[in-house]
Structure 1
Amino acid sequence: MGNPTPGRSLLRRTLGGVVLVVRKFAALILLLLVVLLALRAWQSTQGPSLRAWHKVAPVEMDAHDIAQASWAEYVAAEQRMFDEVHRDLQDKMEAGDRTPLNRYVDGSLASPMAFGRDWNRSFVLEPAGEVRGVAVMLHGLTDAPYSMRSLADVYRRHGYVAIVPRMPGHGTVPAGLTREGRKEWEAATEMAMREAARRAQGRVPVHLVGYSNGGALAVLHVMRRIARGERNDVERVVLVSPMIEVNAFARYAGLAGLPSFFPRFARSAWLDVLPEFNAFKYNSFPVRAARESYLVTSDVSAAIADVAAQGRMDRVPPILAFQSVVDDTVNAPAVATRLFDALPANGSELVLFDVNRNRVLAPILRTNATQWSQAALQGPARRYTVTVIGTASPDDASVVARTRPAGSTHVQVEATTLRYPADVYSLSHVALPFPADDPLYGNVPTGRAHLQLGTVAVRGERNTLAVSQDSLNRLSWNPFHDDMAMRIEAVIR
């Protein structure tokens, strides 16, 4: 045969060059990944060592068993698991672990029992009189049922039975989140909803209330039932700091834990390894929990898309959501763009807690993180109501509610009896569920507790504390909690 034509030779050389470039690029990416993993492995050897509560993962019911269990069976298994965890920790904790600020030391300042009751466990609040409804309350990631305690009491006072399940992996030791994940959380949600249906018996309304990751689970429950063509089992949804979208890091968080395959680098399975002085929330945070949080939000997006594609968004019950305009845990604007903008005109409302726009504080606030709340009151009419709670003016710390009703472009301004605290520049993701008088997280706490995290004010040299100064300064209570409770009471009535 003859020699290849010049055109074919050029094509082969071009393809060969492309293949070479692709191989070099792939090799570069592989090298970069190896370097990053090596750095991550080295970094894991530099921090504090893992303690017993990072290593002893409780054995809980799996998703299949939870799906088959009754509320009573779930609570009984939970009790056995708590007893086992307590025995294991007492055996495996070292002498240096037994400090006055360790939540796992009986009688310590941070012990859950210092608050009169271990609110890490699933609980039910019963109304004093006639049952007028049932509310299922879902707590957030690394939290415990304690975070729903105040809102559960709001419902109880109005005649509702408040059912507050502990999500698997929570309330015990941080290691629990290295084993449990979204499948178990979804099963626990379904189990609690079955208990709500049993108590409601179709005679009284059922509300589903979710905080943070619990908010995502609540939306997921509602959307999946609609997508499956099942009858809606919820009359109203209430969301607090809902986890509709998390930052991009969570998507790839699993890569950070790869070096933990080798025992020497076991600590790389953790993003934070911190002292556990918070009675009802983990301070330490495993890589797996970050990855699972992303997967939950991914499931939520897919479920919303399914319902929209089926033309069934008109079946979504009204949603009342509360969100801080700035939020370092979730993507705050996504609550509007990814969830509320997809809703029908069904009476839903998004309430935003704005930053303190005091003339003195304004210059030190990041504009790109705070301006979206102003845009929410502008532009074309929406199918839902938007309310922004914030300062009346740069010179007036009194708080007003600016509301744009569904279908309207007119903004109504209503005065409140509230004032923005002078030393607070914004709310935070973790602040919303807790009133100012919360025994642990409030700034004017009530009760018998000796540890009051909401009033912590420590000063000294930087790079000295085992926890970040930012975490100690993060607002842990909601100065507008009364307003939030009033709006929830309005939908209850």
Structure 2
Amino acid sequence: MSIVIATIKYLLVGALLLLAAVFLVRAVQSMRGPDLQPWHRLAPPEPSADEIDAMNWTQWLKAEDAAFRFVETEVQAKLPAGQQVPQNRYWADAPLNPANLRQNWNRSFTLEPAGAPVGAVVLLHGLTDAPYSLRHVGDLYQKRGWVVIGIRMPGHGTVPAGLAKAKAEQWQAATRLAVREAMRRAPGKPLHIAGYSNGAALAMIHALDATQNPALGAPKQVVLLSPMIGLTRFARFAGLAGMPAIFPAFVNAAWLDIIPEYNPFKYNSFPVKAGAESHRVTVILGEKIEAARSSGRIGRLPPILTFQSAVDSTVSAPAVVDGLYAHLPANGSELVLFDINRAAYVGPFVRQSAKTALERMRPTGRHNYRLSIVANAAPGDPETVVRSYAPDATVPVEEPLGIPYRRDFFSLGHVALPFPLSDGLYGADPSPDDPQGVALGALATRGENGVLGISPAALARVSSNPFMPWVLGRIDQTLQAPQ
């Protein structure tokens, strides 16, 4: 017994020393980092989860208006002279200010079909993101006669300080509100939910809740892009990084990143609280999956169509298989994985772990879902194919895709999947008909140090998907199927 007690004491002392080390490192980092700006310190009002559950769509838009007025009067109107620069989205005259663009995609939006709706779809964006991220999916649904509800999640679209206050419960309530509005606009018609990243997790939480309470709005189809089923190991402990912020001298420790806000439809700065809340979302989802599995309710889930890059530095790609698809019933679900580009101009610099990432995600036993892999036709060949494994199949059916992998893309990734190459903000070949203030996806970061007002490293991550036409085609197939 004394050995056990001694061991516990040593473990406790070790844990305390580790916490002290984290505290010290983060405190030092916070004092060396850039100063917080008004958009890091001033959060607009947002309704609570209970208030959102009691709202209708009109009331939600009114509350959203109040949040954006706060940003205009308390942040933009009082911006220090030194921050009135073209690359600051919060300067009223900046080309990046969303108010100066054709549409402020930070706001909740609806798209109506030409005639009576044949169905309704709810679009749920990702963390730090805005409704902009799923607008191309929304366009498809609208063209096919569906009404589209794209809701802004609380804490998003305004200022990063808002995300430092937002909670997972508010995001779940906002999802329920959007579903209520979708059912109101298309009564008795099929309901779909499409989610990206954190929004994909919220889509699954709602679908699982609806297996227990169909009155919430049970979807006929769920579409997921880069779903946040699980996070990387660091994200699980992100909340510890904010510990020193309890002292005013170390307030910057409440932020993992403090970066200039040059993206009109996404935050660049990242508060510790957001990482902790996104981890909570994955925990909530995991518990709901297990409860539905153990009770048998998981058999009531609709088909799920998921698109996921085999390499993803934001979420855990293997968790999509192990945490979700391994538990699904035989209901017509499909998982689409995008392999790395084995014909890219990167020579021997690809890590071995990236080369084998796809293989580690293949099911080794029985599986109830279709697995489709988008990959090079052969190593060194930029032409691509789709290799599809039917449920339980070990031999794929291979079809040419007809879309070459760009040699300047060595992989896809988390942020790329919902955006075509022609996207005005994120596309590598932005359309001149889609101006979004800046073409971040097309900026070539080759030049001398110190020229750009932002870090060139921030522009290096791939942000558009050459296979997006095919992705939309696969989603379109679900719309053609009997509902």
Match of 2:372 among 387, 390, 411: 387
SS in 1 for 2:305: strand
For 1:188, the equivalent position in structure 2 comes to 174
SS in 2 for 1:92: coil
Query: 1:31 is matched with which residue?
Result: 17
Residues 325-378 of structure 1 show CA distances to partners (whole Å, capped at 9, x for unaligned) of 100100011111110110000000001111101286463222323424235557
Structure 2 counterpart of 1:211, which letter? Y
Q: How does 1:329-344 map to 2 (within 5 A)?
A: 329-344=314-329
- Of residues 80, 99, 123, the one that matches 2:109 is 123
Residue of structure 2 in register with 1:133 after alignment: 119
Give the CA deviation at 1:111.
1.2
Change (3 A) 1:313 1:18: closer
Cα offset, 1:262, TM superposition: 1.2
Aligned to 1:62: 48
Which aligned pairs between 1:445-484 and structure 2 lie closer than 5 A?
Answer: 445-446=430-431, 447-460=434-447, 468-484=455-471
Residues 302-317 of structure 1 mapped to structure 2, 5 A cutoff: 302-317=287-302
Q: Aligned to 1:393, what secondary structure does the other structure show?
A: coil
Report if aligned partners of 1:274, 1:466 keep a CA contact under 8 Å in 2.
Answer: no
Q: What is the number of residues matched between the two proteins?
A: 478
Q: Relative to structure 1, is the Cα distance of residues 464 and 49 closer, same or farther in structure 2, using a 3 angstrom cutoff? A: farther
- Of 454, 473, 481, the residue aligned with 1:486 is 473
Q: Deviations over 1:97-132 (max 9, x none)?
A: 111010011121211134311110000011112311
The CA RMSD over aligned residues, in Å, is: 2.0
Instruction: Indicate if the aligned counterparts of 1:380 and 1:409 stay in contact, CA closer than 8 A.
Output: no
- Which residues of structure 2 form unaligned runs of 5+? none
1:162 to 2:148 alignment: yes
Match of 2:204 among 196, 213, 219: 219
Q: 1:228 to 1:129 in 2, by over 3 A?
A: closer
Kindly provide the CA deviation profile for residues 394-422 of structure 1, in whole angstroms up to 9, marking residues without a partner as x. 13211110000123222000012200001
The structural deviation recorded for 1:22 is: 4.3
Deviates more, 1:461-470 or 1:135-144: 461-470
User: Contact 1:155/1:162 (CA < 8 Å) preserved in 2?
Assistant: yes
Residue 379 of structure 1: how far off its partner (Å) = 3.7
Moved more, 324-333 or 90-99: 90-99
Structure-2 residue corresponding to 1:3? none
Aligned to 1:246: 231
1:235 aligns with 2:220: yes
**C-alpha separation in 2, matches of 1:359 and 1:481:** 19
Of the three residues 65, 79, 83, the one matched with 1:79 is 65
Distance of 1:108 and 1:343 partners within structure 2: 48
More divergent stretch after superposition (392-401 vs 89-98): 89-98
Q: Deviation at 1:79? A: 1.0
Normalising by the residue count of structure 1, what TM-score does the alignment of the two structures yield? 0.93
1:435 and 2:420 equivalent?
yes
Indicate the SS of the match to 2:317.
coil
1:448-491 per-residue CA deviation (whole Å, 9 max, x = no partner) reads 34411011122356799775543211011111000000000000
Q: Is the 8 A contact 1:378 1:409 kept in 2?
A: no
Verify the 8 A CA contact 1:107 1:113 in the aligned structure 2: no
Secondary structure of 1:257's counterpart equals helix
Corresponding residue to 1:46 among 16, 32, 56 = 32
What residue identity is the alignment partner of 1:135? V
- Percent of paired sites with the same residue: 44
Residue 253 (structure 2) aligns with: 268
Q: Write out per-residue CA displacement over residues 38-86 of structure 1, whole angstroms, 9 at most, x where no aligned residue.
A: 2211110101100000000111111111000001110111012211221
Instruction: Check whether the contact 1:381–1:409 (CA below 8 A) recurs between aligned residues.
Output: no
Instruction: Measure how far apart 1:251 and its partner are.
Output: 2.0
In structure 2, what is the Cα distance between the partners aligned to 1:434 and 1:404?
A: 26
Structure 1, unaligned stretches of length 5 or more?
1-13
1:478 alignment partner AA: N
1:343-422 equivalences in 2 (<5 Å): 343-358=328-343, 361=346, 363-374=348-359, 376=361, 379-422=364-407
Matched, 1:89 2:89: no
Amino acid at match of 2:462: L
Q: Name which one, 1 or 2, has greater alpha-carbon Rg.
A: 1
Distance 1:461 1:31, change over 3 A: farther
